[in-house]
Structure 1
Amino acid sequence: MSNRQALVIGASRGLGLVLADELARRGWRVIATARQDDADLRANADAWKGRLTVESLEMTSADQLAALCERLEGSRLDLLFVNAAIDRGDLPIDKVPTEMFTEVMITNALSPLRALEALRGLVAPGGTVAVMSSEQGSISRNTEEGYELYKASKAALNQLMRSYATRYGDDGQTKLLIDPGHNRTRLGGPDAPLTPQESIPAVVDVLEAQTGARGLRFLDRHGETVPW
């Protein structure tokens, strides 16, 4: 069990920070990426004494992604988890500037799939490729007003992941979209009902339980299917 290795992209704070720490606590060796040096992530890395290491990555940069691939060449991953998203507020879609729309779509939908494409060759047969999604990306559950751009970006992420799963359906890797619930993070806001410390252990339970599953699954932190 201690030989399992994970790469968590987007681990400087919030859900990603707790995810990397929880995996290390369970005996995984973890490579965690951050856009810039982060005190909390570095402190965790120091505490785990080599079990958790930190790499620099701005996921939206093709050059930085290529450099990370070079640095990790020869690594074997049992889990590749992309956790990265931004939110630019609750504007109705007709008020969203083009530049804002582009920024959110590139960060939340395009870049995670670029990362998967670049790094999937490091994932072992039978390993897991996962992306942090959200119930907000469920079209059938979009029954309340608000956050139209963020919802659209997560729906786009889900659709692109579906295309990815179709393209690589025979590669033997488990493919997951994870809805962690509404958490009190910088993105989720101070009034969210959950904390990452509450939700992430359940998320890791799901990741471990789903190892070896075939096809793409969109699951919440309880392992229940989220409708598309």
Structure 2
Amino acid sequence: MKRVLITGANRGLGLELTRQYLERGDQVFAATRQPAEATDLQALQAQHGDQLVLVGLDITSSASLTAAYQTVADRTDRLDILINNAGILPGHPGSDIGADSDTQHLGQLRYEEAMQVLGTNAVGPLLVTQQFLPLLRAAHRARIVSLSSGLGSLELKASGTHYHYSASKAAMNMYMRTVAAEAGHYGIISVMIDPGWMRTAMGGEGASLPPADSARGIIRLTDQLHAEENGSFLTWQGKSVPW
């Protein structure tokens, strides 16, 4: 049985990853900002009991990170897998930035919005990883999976939209590739994964990929990671993504 921590576990891909890990018998620590309002997670907890632990976590708050770590450490002495899934896309659920900001063309950009997106999508995963590093080091060949995006690829970027989101994913890639270089000394493998354009509240109804398929691919890929893949940027199908 693996011990798995998933951030942003209350909806979309995070919820599907939680469900699939539970179904195969792993223990999941499902982190979300408001566990009391996470009705889907509560339903899963009623079904799976102590196999699922709900964890209150705001990844932009140092006090919340400390409290979340204590909640998890009280239940387990190790973490085999950390999935940095929590993130925001301006104009979509989970973001306090208005719907008029989702195009983000020149002339509409604001400093406060940039800091919010960068703080959540880039700095947040780094600090989550730092906070839970002792539990990851205690496991045998732990994995850190940070969900990125093709929009974070400098080589592939060709549109004049999503300034903050694209930059935040590129920054997260650099943070987590740096983590890979350091954490690799402890036998930890850290990768960035593009989960694809999924049919979720964030991805929209126009997306063709069901989150269940992406989650299944991510879990399979995580299980099969080798040391030489540490620091890689991959699709959910295991193909390399250009930096």
Give the TM-score range, shorter chain.
over 0.9
CA distance in structure 2 between the partners assigned to 1:186 and 1:72 by the alignment = 28
**Corresponding residue pairs, total:** 226
Contact in 2 for aligned 1:60/1:111 (Cα 8 Å): yes
Q: Write the distance in 2 (CA, Å) between the matches of 1:20 and 1:222.
A: 19
Shift of 1:214: 5.2
The letter of the residue matching 2:8 is G
> What SS does structure 1 have at the residue aligned with 2:83?
strand
Check whether the contact 1:128–1:211 (CA below 8 A) recurs between aligned residues.
Answer: no
Corresponding residue of 1:80: 82
Runs (5+) with no aligned partner, structure 1:
none
**2:99 corresponding residue in structure 1:** none
Match of 2:96 in 1: none
2:141 partner SS: strand
Q: Which has the higher strand share?
A: 1
**Residue deviations 1:15-51 (CA, integer Å, cap 9, x gap):** 1010111111122111111110200111112112322
| Aligned positions of 1:1-228 closer than 5 A | 3-36=1-34, 37=36, 38-73=38-73, 75-88=77-90, 89-123=102-136, 124-210=139-225, 215-228=230-243
Deviates more, 1:136-145 or 1:7-16: 136-145
CA 1:31–1:211 in structure 2 vs 1: closer, same or farther (change >3 Å)? farther
3-state SS in 1 of match to 2:17: helix
Q: Of Structure 1 and Structure 2, which has the larger fraction of its residues in helix?
A: 2
Specify the code of the residue in structure 2 equivalent to 1:219: L
2:97 aligns to what? none
Q: Secondary structure at the match of 1:192?
A: coil
Aligned equivalents of 2:84 and 2:111: distance in 1?
25
For the structure 1 residues 151 and 81, does the alpha-carbon distance in structure 2 shift closer, same or farther, using more than 3 Å as the test?
Answer: same
Question: Deviation of residue 178 (structure 1)?
Answer: 1.0
Give % identity: 33
1:46-104 deviation per Cα after TM superposition (whole angstroms, max 9, x unaligned): 11232222111111110010111122225211101111111111212442111101100
Give RMSD over aligned pairs.
1.5
Q: Structure 1 counterpart of 2:174, which letter?
A: Q
Structure-2 separation of matches of 1:143 and 1:58: 32
* Residues 130, 178 of structure 1: 8 Å contact kept: yes
What secondary structure sits across from 1:226 in the alignment? coil
Distance in 2 separating the partners of 1:201 and 1:81:
14
Assess if the C-alpha contact under 8 Å between 2:84 and 2:146 holds in 1: yes
Q: Name the SS for the 2:50 alignment partner.
A: coil
Contact kept? 1:206, 1:221, Cα under 8 Å: yes
TM-score by length of 1: 0.94
SS at match of 1:224: coil
User: In structure 2, how many angstroms separate the alpha carbons of the residues matched to 1:202 and 1:214?
Assistant: 16
